[in-house]
Amino acid sequence: MPKDYIERRVTSQDGLSLYLRDYPGPDDGGVPLLCLGGLTRNSKDFAGVAKYHARWRRVICPETRGRGHSDYDPDWRNYHPATYVNDVRHILCALGIHSVVVLGTSMGGIMGMAMAAAMPTSLKGLILNDVGPTVRVDNLDKIIDYMKHPPSLKDWDAAGQHLKNAFDGEYLITEDAHWTRAAHNSYVEKPDGTITFDWDENIVKPILEDKTEVHDLWDLFKATRRIPVLTVRGGTSTILDERQLAEMSAQHKNMKTVVVPGIGHAPSLAEPVSMEALNGFLEQF
């Protein structure tokens, strides 16, 4: 079956090969959509969103260094949002793309806010998926603990159970078969047949080394006030709580919000309420 995207590779400024999915879209489409994933995520997360929105615009889904098909960095100290934003700058330059709307899930949203400060002429709009400018490390304990223990699993059903054991209750997933299907987006089969994480286990090292308890990114968020923003919050998320969302709304008069009931961190963006919000937001670009 033919793919609905083109697989591309761009060489970073420090020589790493970075993978991306390029959904071409129509020649007369709107501003391209750049999808940036979370801390451990890859381009598969955006497969449905990208295919859907590629009917109206080009959609680019890069895999951050150390994730998926992108090269792992031999120096784990480079696993930092500043490096990732520089990679994005290089990718856009290589593809000849001068302006984008960013859809950023979790860490990808932080990258989007950073782009508002570092690449202001390139960023025309921003969709923040379950992330805000205050990041409390203790709210990430479950994710960090999960990352610290790379598994070696015998098959994909075991991978589904491993994922379920870590995040049961965060999502509206009730069937083991659906957890197994979800595992295919986060795990990879090694040459010896075992299943493990689809990212470099070293990406957690900078987080463990950094003793900052609360990361204050409000200066980055303030840089987004010149552009339209849509913030999506999982209704049960502790990463982006109601109080922070209200404060963001108070400080950004051109920000729309949507809450996805019953979902933790982070919405898949396939939920009807998410799709409706994204459709309405992207119509202006």
Give the count of alpha carbons within 13 A of 12, CB side only: 23
With 80 as the cut, is the pLDDT of residue 169 above it? no
pLDDT-based confidence at 16, cuts 50/70/90? very high
Other Cβ atoms within 10 Å of 39 Cβ, number: 21
Which pLDDT tens digit goes with each residue over 64-100?
A: 999 999 999 999 999 999 999 999 999 999 999 999 9
Q: Give the residue-averaged pLDDT of 186-209.
A: 95
Relative to beta strand 57-62, strand 17-23 is antiparallel
Residue 27 identity (one-letter amino acid): D
- Rounded percentage of the chain residues whose pLDDT exceeds 70: 99
Tell me the domains of the chain and their CATH numbers: 6-135+215-282 (3.40.50.1820)
- At residue 1, the pLDDT reads 63
Which pLDDT tens digit goes with each residue over 105-133?
A: 999 999 999 999 999 999 999 999 999 99
pLDDT averaged over the chain?
Answer: 95
Q: Give the residue-averaged pLDDT of 133-138.
A: 93
pLDDT-based confidence at 283, cuts 50/70/90? very high
Beta-bridge partners for 33: 59, 101
- At residue 171, the pLDDT reads 74
- At residue 18, the pLDDT reads 98
**Euclidean distance between CA atoms 240 and 110, whole angstroms:** 12
- At residue 107, the pLDDT reads 97
Residue 248 identity (one-letter amino acid): M
pLDDT-based confidence at 24, cuts 50/70/90? very high
Pick the closest to residue 233 from 222, 243, 251, 245 (CA basis): 245
Rounded to the nearest angstrom, the gap between the alpha carbon of residue 25 and the centroid of all alpha carbons in its chain is 21
With 70 as the cut, is the pLDDT of residue 174 above it? yes
Q: Pull the structure tokens for residue 187.
A: 């795990």
With 70 as the cut, is the pLDDT of residue 2 above it? no
